[in-house]
């Protein structure tokens, strides 16, 4: 298993884990009208963004430094540690990734994950596998996405973004996501990799990847792909009872319904749970920090780590009423405590890619 010993985030709530947790705990979305670029010709006009126009790779450098310092890595340990990255692919991505690793004193880039909205969950799964099977003692995972005019226009022209300015995952009347700035970095380490291993934020104990290629932008209604990712992750983790799911849930009608089916299918027959999968608590925090695309899984893993540490689950914000297509036990009230020592993080992407992670309390 992989221990997360260093963790850093940057979201529209501000820099750092405290800002993220305070924002999530408030239940108030970090959403505002977009001023970074012109939106008057679009349907949507809101996003969860930082001030100004920050540079992603510059931000990732600071986040990697912060996570490595928090984990107490020496220059010698950094020099033997690879970087696994989750970012949108571009012509200069490889060069920028190599420069990032070098600037942070890391050994080099082991992989760059570009699997759309599942990219950083996939990167975390990759790192956990390298550590679990003794290929690496530790891996640094970093990733993110900042809202830019081209991606905003692509989502808006496809009719995906909500014009309401409010994202309503799993809710009646949902009409799509709100994009968000989000980046994070994490240090994952093997148990016993060094005598001074610090206390962990959480542990990555299971992971599952699927790519069903059902359709470029439409999910299978039965949720088969993400359900298989869930069952694979649970099997690898030793079939623990999961008490909470941080869901992908972009608040689109079809995707939320398919994901609800996947959660019920993938968690069916949990041990020690007479109520079955329908009783497992679920929320999507994308309604709060925005949909961070390639950064989603890392930001949402940080939310789970903070939930373990603070003993409270994040609410499913924006809820306007139940939908028969999403019969889940949503977290609608603040202050609910995690019921078990295991959580599930699920992210999916266009093209049918899904990655599920089982996250355990430290």
Which residues share a beta bridge with 2?
A: 190, 204
Homologous superfamily of domain range 2-190:
Thiolase/Chalcone synthase (3.40.47.10)
Alpha-carbon dihedral angle through residues 63, 68, 72, 77, given to the nearest 10 degrees: -170
Q: Which residue has the higher pLDDT, 330 or 273?
A: 330
Q: Give the residue carrying structure tokens 């373990």.
A: 308
Specify whether the CB–CB gap between 147 and 180 falls below 8 A.
Answer: yes
Residue 235 pLDDT class (50, 70, 90 cuts): very high
**Domain 204-360 in the same topology as domain 2-190:** yes
Q: pLDDT tens-digit profile of 5-43?
A: 999 999 999 999 999 999 999 999 999 999 999 999 999
Structural domain boundaries in the chain:
2-190, 204-360
Grouping H, G, I as helix, E, B as strand and the rest as coil, residue 49 is: coil
Q: What is the mean pLDDT of residues 176-202?
A: 95
Q: Is the pLDDT of residue 183 over 70?
A: yes
Within 13 Å and on the Cβ side, how many CA atoms surround 313? 27
Q: What is the mean pLDDT of residues 132-138?
A: 95
Q: Is the pLDDT of residue 287 over 60?
A: yes
Specify whether the CB–CB gap between 254 and 217 falls below 8 A.
Answer: no
The pTM (predicted TM-score) of the whole model is 0.96
Q: What is the mean pLDDT of residues 240-249?
A: 96
**CA-CA distance, 203 to 233, in Å (whole number)?**
13
Which residues share a beta bridge with 209?
A: 355
Q: Is the pLDDT of residue 227 over 60?
A: yes
**DSSP 8-class letter at 191:** T
Q: Which numeric CATH code is attached to 204-360?
A: 3.40.47.10
Select from 262, 277, 279, 345 the least CA-distant residue to 308: 345
pLDDT above 90 as % of the chain: 89
Q: pLDDT tens-digit profile of 62-102?
A: 999 999 999 999 999 999 999 999 999 999 999 999 999 99
Q: What is the mean pLDDT of residues 307-323?
A: 97
**CA-CA distance, 126 to 41, in Å (whole number)?**
40
Q: Is the pLDDT of residue 214 over 80?
A: no
CA distances, 47 to each of 71, 138, 290 (Å): 32, 35, 7
């Amino acid at each position: 298993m992989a221990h997360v010993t260093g963790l850093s985030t940057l979201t529209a709530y501000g820099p750092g884990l405290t800002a993220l947790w305070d924002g999530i705990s408030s239940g108030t979305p970090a959403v505002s009208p977009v001023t970074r670029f012109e939106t008057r010709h679009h349907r949507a006009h809101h996003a969860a963004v930082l001030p100004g126009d920050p540079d992603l790779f510059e931000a990732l450098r600071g986040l990697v430094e912060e996570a490595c310092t928090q984990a107490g890595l020496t220059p010698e340990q950094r020099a033997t540690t690879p970087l696994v990255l989750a970012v949108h692919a571009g012509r200069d991505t490889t060069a920028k990734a190599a420069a990032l690793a070098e600037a942070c004193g890391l050994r080099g880039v082991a992989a760059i994950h570009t699997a759309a909205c599942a990219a950083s969950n996939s990167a975390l799964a990759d790192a956990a596998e390298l550590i679990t099977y003794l290929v690496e003692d530790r891996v640094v995972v970093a990733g993110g996405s900042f809202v830019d005019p081209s991606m905003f226009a692509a989502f808006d022209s496809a009719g995906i973004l909500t014009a309401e300015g409010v994202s309503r995952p799993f809710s009646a009347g949902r009409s799509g996501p709100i994009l968000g700035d989000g980046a994070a970095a994490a240090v994952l380490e093997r148990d016993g990799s060094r005598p001074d291993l610090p206390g962990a934020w959480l542990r990555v104990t299971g992971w599952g990847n699927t790519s069903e290629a059902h359709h470029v932008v439409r999910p299978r209604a039965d949720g088969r792909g993400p359900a298989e990712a869930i069952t694979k992750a649970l099997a690898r983790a030793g079939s623990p009872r999961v008490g909470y799911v941080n869901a992908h849930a972009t608040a689109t009608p079809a995707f939320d319904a398919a994901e609800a089916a996947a959660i019920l299918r993938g968690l069916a027959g949990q041990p020690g749970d007479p109520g079955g999968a329908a009783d497992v608590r679920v929320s999507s925090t994308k309604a709060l920090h925005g949909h961070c695309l390639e950064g989603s899984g890392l930001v949402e893993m940080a939310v789970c780590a903070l939930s373990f540490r603070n003993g409270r689950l994040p609410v499913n914000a924006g809820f306007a009423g139940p939908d028969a297509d999403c019969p889940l036990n949503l977290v609608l009230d603040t202050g609910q405590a995690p019921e078990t020592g295991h959580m599930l993080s699920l992210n999916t992407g266009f093209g049918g890619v899904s990655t599920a992670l089982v996250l355990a309390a430290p």
